[in-house]
Amino acid sequence: MKKILLSGAAFVFLSVGAASATDLPAKAPLVYKAVAPFSWDGLYVGAHAGYVWGTDNLFEGSLLAAQSSKFSPSGGFGGLQIGYNRHISNNWVVGTEFDISWGSIKDSVLSSPNAAPGTIKIDTFGTARTRLGYAFDRTLVYATGGLVWSSNDVGLTGLRNVDGYHVGWTVGSGLEYAFDPQWSVKLEYLYADLGKSTRFLAAGLLESTNDLSLNIVRAGINYRFGVPVGSRSAMPVKGVVSRPLWTGSYIGVHAGYAWSDASFSDGFNVETSQLNPSGGFGGLQTGYNWQFAPSWVFGLETDSSYAGLKDSGLTSPGAFPITAKIDVFGTVRARLGYVVDRTLFYGTGGLAYSQQKIQETGGGGVTNSTVKAYQVGWTAGGGIEYSINPVWSAKIEYLYADFGKDKYSHTGVPPVNELDLTMSTVKVGLNYHGPVLELFLGGR
């Protein structure tokens, strides 16, 4: 009987336990959610610091004796940058970046063969570059290249001093790591070739040329303002993505007309002149727009124009023939606009550069002086751009540019050459907003 009772109790217990177990909620199965890849998209600003070293070959063909000097300027610097990145595939990233740096990059040497003391100092420089990178999640490896400019003061004591600008090209590479969704740090190297400037004075007997190149290493930190609405990086899979009409990169062509005021002072021959070089021009532009909030558009644009702006006249009081020619100019600008339907109204401003040649001819057709060099200044203006369709847009734009003063002095006399240049331009342009790089690197 005891065994029967124990067996019955065990059966009841097991039955109740089984029934209770069936009343317990079933354990939910494990579900793995896909994690969206890290996004580099968006506008960013930042700061940087680094070190520069380079070479500057200076030649002085003076009235007394030809002098040559090889400077090796070096020093530290710091500055600011602003840029925009966009994913064009899951891993490829294209961007545009502008920066400006301040420092004390200098050197002192003795010339050869007369051992005249010479100095060079670079206190400001900047770049406007395109970046193309490959992202390994939070790590971006990139190559970069574009325009570079610098403000220099170089010369030989007792002979001559040149205070002006150099403009050239730069290429390099870098590594950027995002330690936070909005913060990243980077390490970058750039090689910059700032070209050669030439000045002749006093019937060609006084000549100055200097050829400058720099190596730039810097570390920086960037803050990104987040992923814009409709960005492709918010979509982990391929598909049709709706995004604002004006958001994205573009390339285009332009043509227009320019007129300028060039005030030239020849201190060595004590002559002045007022010229107005004008003429047509054409060129290329590229940029990136970001539409936000939802009718405002912020953009970054750089352009280069090739022209034949020129004018001729007579100096005062000697009535010597003089000519001025501007063959290259360009800008690096920010744009801020407001969209009304398919039309973008914008203001714009930034940096401008130009290359000009001023030549003064004395008696018997002998050249008194020649200045062939770059100038760098500021520009501001506005424009209207109309979206013909999602791929093409047309624009008309006005810009005013002030390139400041280019000075070329000789010890013991008033400034030998001083050029003060301003310019106005009106141009029409056509932009293509299609996926140019995506065709080669794979759409996202």
| pLDDT reported for residue 207 | 64
> What CA–CA distances, in Å, run from 248 to 203, 245, 297, 367?
53, 8, 11, 51
Dig out the tokens for 313 from the structure: 């006249």
Per the CB < 8 A criterion, the answer to whether 53 and 214 are in contact is yes
**Nearest alpha-carbon partner for 301 in 233, 371, 382:** 382
- Does this chain's domain 40-237 share its CATH topology with 244-444? yes
Residue range 244-444, CATH number: 2.40.160.20
- Give the architecture (CATH level 2) of 40-237: Beta Barrel (2.40)
- Give the sign of the dihedral formed by CA 70, CA 75, CA 80, CA 81: positive
What is the per-residue pLDDT for 264?
82
Domain coordinates in residue numbering, the chain: 40-237, 244-444
pLDDT by residue for the chain (444 residues), tens only, comes to 444 433 444 433 334 344 444 444 555 555 545 556 788 988 899 999 999 999 988 777 655 567 778 889 999 999 999 988 888 888 999 888 999 999 989 998 887 777 778 888 999 999 989 899 999 999 999 999 999 999 888 776 666 667 778 888 999 999 999 999 899 999 999 999 987 777 665 554 556 677 889 999 999 999 998 654 444 444 444 444 456 789 888 899 999 999 999 888 776 667 788 899 999 999 999 888 888 888 999 988 999 999 989 999 888 888 888 898 999 999 999 999 999 999 999 999 999 999 888 887 766 666 666 777 788 899 999 999 999 998 999 999 999 999 887 776 655 455 567 788 999 999 999 999 876 655 555 554
Query: What does the pLDDT read at residue 4?
Result: 40
Residue 180's Cβ-side half-sphere holds a number of Cα atoms within 13 Å equal to 10
Distances from the Cα of 394 to the Cα of 30, 260, 385, angstroms: 54, 25, 6
Following DSSP, what letter does each residue of 118-130 receive, concatenated? EEEEEEEEEEEEE
CA-to-CA distance for 123 and 113, rounded, in angstroms? 29
